[in-house]
Structure 1
Amino acid sequence: MSSTPPSGDELLAMLAALANPHRLRIVAALAGKRNYVSQLARELQMSRPLLHIHAQRLEEAGLISASLELSKDGKAMKYLELTSFEIVLSAAAIAAAVPTLSTDAKEKK
């Protein structure tokens, strides 16, 4: 993400994605390094399917990115890494984000 503050919809997506202990653990495990799904699942003692579900939510929110790479033996490996993001949560930041909420997000309030 860029250094500009997130829109209301982006802020909602990021906060919703982070409002889960599994996803917080994934973000913490990826802080400062990228990792491939199988290794990350082992480190977090989580099944790969569960990791995929949570990683997808984090990726949709723009908090992580994924890339496929081939290993030396020709196996496809999915790597995950954090994107550059910063969430500033203050009354002023929320007030600035609210006017940019889409109609759908406003109706869910």
Structure 2
Amino acid sequence: MAEVPTPEPTGDELLKALSALGNPHRMRIVAALTERRNYVSALAREIGMGRPLLHMHLKLLEAAGLVIGSLEVAEDGKSMKYFEVAPFLYELTPQLFARAVRTLSETRPRESADHKTAEPTKEEAK
């Protein structure tokens, strides 16, 4: 069976993934989940992080598509959220960035008629 190629990320997807991975705590979380899937309390103990902070980091990683969370009910009726690493591969090349930047949803800075410098648009200033 032929391997299905991974679709190239859009600019927004690439930016979200790189932003999520640009934090040492989130890198540690991905590394820990590479070993095995885990539930929040056990993962917090394993990496030495409080659960509220871990939840925040997991939420960002999940939004970037780098981890997958699933709620499971144990035999005792207790709900536990398990996380695992999502398969991902980014080959970072200048050409990838050139293609990705064309798909960014953010607007480009516009030039000021007075100063000929880039000014943020109203949307960027928000």
Same topology, TM > 0.5: yes
- Would you say 1:10 and 2:13 are equivalent positions? yes
**Percent of counterpart pairs with the same letter?**
55
The answer for unaligned runs of 5 or more in structure 1 is none
Once superposed, what is the RMSD of the aligned Cα atoms? 1.4
Distance 1:88 1:13 in 2: 15
- Would you say 1:27 and 2:39 are equivalent positions? no
Alignment of 1:37-76 (within 5 A): 37-76=40-79
Aligned-residue offset at 1:87: 1.2
Matched residue type, 1:103: E
Aligned-residue offset at 1:103: 2.9
Which structure: larger Rg? 2
Higher relative contact order (CA 8 A, sep 6+): 1
Aligned-residue offset at 1:32: 4.2
Matched residue type, 2:92: L
Q: Secondary structure at the match of 1:13?
A: helix
Distance 1:5 1:88 in 2: 10
- Would you say 1:97 and 2:100 are equivalent positions? yes
Q: Which aligned runs of 4 or more in structure 1 are off by greater than 6 angstroms? A: none
Which of 80, 83, 86 pairs up with 1:83? 86
Distance 1:87 1:14 in 2: 9
Distance 1:38 1:55 in 2: 12
* Count of paired positions: 106
Distance 1:64 1:58 in 2: 6
Distance 1:103 1:85 in 2: 24
The answer for unaligned runs of 5 or more in structure 2 is 110-123
More helix by proportion, 1 or 2? 1
Q: Which residue of 1 aligns with 2:120?
A: none
TM-score by length of 2: 0.79
